Amino acid sequence: MLKLKRIAIDTHRESIAYLSRACPHYRVDEFQALGKIEVRAAGGSCLLATINIVDDAALLAPDELGLSEEAFRVFGLLPESRVRIAHPKPVESLDALRRKIEGHELDDAEYTAVICDIAASRYSKMEVAAFLVGCAGFMTVEEVLRLTRAMANVGQRLDWGDRLVVDKHCIGGIPGNRTSMIVVPLVMAHGLTIPKTSSRAITSPAGTADTMEVLARVDISTEEMRAIVDRIGGCLVWGGRVNLSPADDVMITVERPLGIDTREQMVASILSKKLTAGSRHLVLDIPVGPSAKVRSQNDAVRLRKLFEYVGGKIGLSLDIRLTDGSQPIGRGIGPVLEARDVMAVLRNEPMAPADLRERALLLAGALIEADEAVKGGQGIHRARALLESGAGLQAMERIIEAQGSNLGPDGIIPAASSKCHEVAAQHSGLVNGIDCLRIARVARMAGAPAFKDAGVDLLKKIGDPVRQGEPLYRIHAGLDADLGFAAELAMQDSGFTINGMPGHGA
């Protein structure tokens, strides 16, 4: 038997077991060839882990078995506990995974088995990758439904009793599109319940959770979230702690570096989380544009139908809006800059970005109409009234207070980084295109979202006239080096098209 040792290595959600090459009890190389071992404790608990072999007795003695932090946490035993290791029983759902790779359709039981095993960390990252790529190759709409249900079933389900619980989601891809932070307070102000969870940025310069974190704490447990929503009717928290979809949390650690972003996974991920979050009505924003996630009206309609099919089967009332995704929304891109725009809208400041305000009112209005007392077509007027009266701002202040303010005692939003650089037009004319991907890349290179005060501040939008040399946008960077890299990127291609000509920065 081996003595359990906690190895203080954080392997980012993958369970790793460390075994000494000098281990006298086992044929270590043979275990390594198979990649995984099963660790068994006297009490019967079991853990599957990927094996790493250690050649340093100071790190691990020959009679010890090390577990990475994640594995140690999942296993839940004390250090020095006695354990055995064994060739793992094959994870049975891997047969289903192989069938998917071979191009077969999987049934309910197979999706359930795969998703349970993923949520329980029984898959290595390469197995998760194989599952995701296999699904990307071929999936029927029925399979998307099965995957959605399976993902929802392993999550912690929230029950809000009789309350009318609504939610709003955007499929993402449009920099600056922070409508949630306006929609949630307006919907709360109307009296509906909206327990909003958001993600952090995956490949973008900011997720709603990153931007909200400029204003308030977002790393909030399920229990605390429940208490907040019970008290004030809504919240704007990070979904990572809420455990709505533990399988999704694992899959995202693979999707992110691989850059996999399929429709099928998107639908299953979004709808499974809404189901476990206890929502009955969902307004979904699908921006369509040449550099958006969805590029054509045709694709948008196909995606809408997939959402509607699955949503209908799981009992979620869906209002899907195909919106203009031709350029970033608002001016700021990056947490601090976006928080500034959001608060400008909520405070009814004259310079607040009109596109952000109108998009938020459209979506808030659609949600407010989930209230049967509101006549069709009146939702947006109600939303506008709540915004203009300051009721929306007050609701946001309640959220910030309830979650814990991150602002100083003066309540002032921090300024964007003073390390900045202006990107100017190479020639005069009318702006007729802004590449969302390019602008996002520049903002990310500048340091967003790791540096909250980094990003891009747009000074021109589509339809604006510019003169040669006039600034198109300002880059704010976290570090001097990042400013150089981001400026260089903008120099190669600013992302702006002026008079039909793609512009280099000048």
Q: Which DSSP helix (H) or strand (E) runs through 54? A: strand 46-54
SS3 at position 352: coil
SS3 at position 448: coil
- Does residue 222 interact with a second copy by CB under 8 A? no
Stretch that binds a second copy, among 94-102, 165-173, 207-215, 284-292 (CB under 8 A): 94-102
Query: Could you tell me the CA-to-CA distances from 46 to 39, 55, 132, 166, 434 in Å, in that order?
Result: 6, 25, 26, 40, 53
CA distance 252 to 287: 22
SS3 at position 209: helix
Among 17, 23, 48, 132, binds a second copy (CB under 8 A): 132
Question: What phi, psi does 332 have (nearest 5°)?
Answer: -85, 145
| Residue whose token pair is 């100071």 | 58
Q: Which is nearer to a second copy, 87 or 467 (CB)?
A: 87
- Does residue 106 interact with a second copy by CB under 8 A? no
Question: What phi, psi does 283 have (nearest 5°)?
Answer: -100, 125
The least CB distance from residue 309 to a second copy, in Å, is 22
- Does residue 30 interact with a second copy by CB under 8 A? yes
Residues recognised as catalytic: 261
Among 76, 79, 191, 257, binds a second copy (CB under 8 A): 257
**Quick one: which of 389, 367, 368, 449 has its CA closest to 416?**
449
What amino acid is encoded at 411 in this protein?
G
Stretch that binds a second copy, among 121-129, 154-162, 320-328, 400-408 (CB under 8 A): 121-129
- Does residue 307 interact with a second copy by CB under 8 A? no
The least CB distance from residue 496 to a second copy, in Å, is 23
Q: Which DSSP helix (H) or strand (E) runs through 251? A: helix 246-258
- Does residue 10 interact with a second copy by CB under 8 A? yes
Stretch that binds a second copy, among 257-265, 317-325, 336-344, 348-356 (CB under 8 A): 257-265
- Does residue 127 interact with a second copy by CB under 8 A? yes
Q: Which residues of 247-268 are buried (b: 16+ CB within 10 A; e: fewer)?
A: bbbbbbebbeeeebbbbbbbbb
- Does residue 12 interact with a second copy by CB under 8 A? yes
Show the beta-strand stretches assigned E in 133-173. 166-170
Among 45, 52, 222, 394, binds a second copy (CB under 8 A): 52
Residues 135-154 that bind a second copy (CB under 8 A): 136-138
CA distance 291 to 435: 6
Contact by Cβ (8 Å): 261, 252:
no
Among 3, 5, 9, 108, binds a second copy (CB under 8 A): 9
Q: Which residues neighbour 213 within 8 Å (Cβ) at sequence distance 6 or greater?
A: 219, 238, 335, 406, 452
- Does residue 506 interact with a second copy by CB under 8 A? no
Among 1, 22, 46, 59, binds a second copy (CB under 8 A): 59
Residues 441-470 that bind a second copy (CB under 8 A): 450
Among 259, 315, 408, 463, binds a second copy (CB under 8 A): 259
Stretch that binds a second copy, among 126-134, 284-292, 381-389, 396-404 (CB under 8 A): 126-134
Q: Which is nearer to a second copy, 138 or 428 (CB)?
A: 138
Q: Which is nearer to a second copy, 55 or 372 (CB)?
A: 55
DSSP state letters, 457-484: EES--TT-EE-TT-EEEEEE-SSHHHHH
Residues in contact with a second copy, counted by CB under 8 A, come to a total of 51
Stretch that binds a second copy, among 27-35, 139-147, 217-225, 458-466 (CB under 8 A): 27-35
Q: Which is nearer to a second copy, 18 or 238 (CB)?
A: 18
Q: Which is nearer to a second copy, 113 or 387 (CB)?
A: 113
Q: Which DSSP helix (H) or strand (E) runs through 318? A: strand 317-324
SS3 at position 433: strand
- Does residue 102 interact with a second copy by CB under 8 A? yes
∠ CA 78-84-88, nearest 5°, is 115
Q: Which is nearer to a second copy, 52 or 153 (CB)?
A: 52
Q: Which is nearer to a second copy, 374 or 437 (CB)?
A: 437
The least CB distance from residue 226 to a second copy, in Å, is 27
Q: Which is nearer to a second copy, 125 or 381 (CB)?
A: 125
Which residues in this chain contact a second copy in the complex, by CB under 8 A? 7-12, 18, 21, 27, 30, 32-36, 51-56, 59, 68-69, 94, 97-98, 101-103, 124-130, 132-134, 136-138, 253-254, 256-260, 450
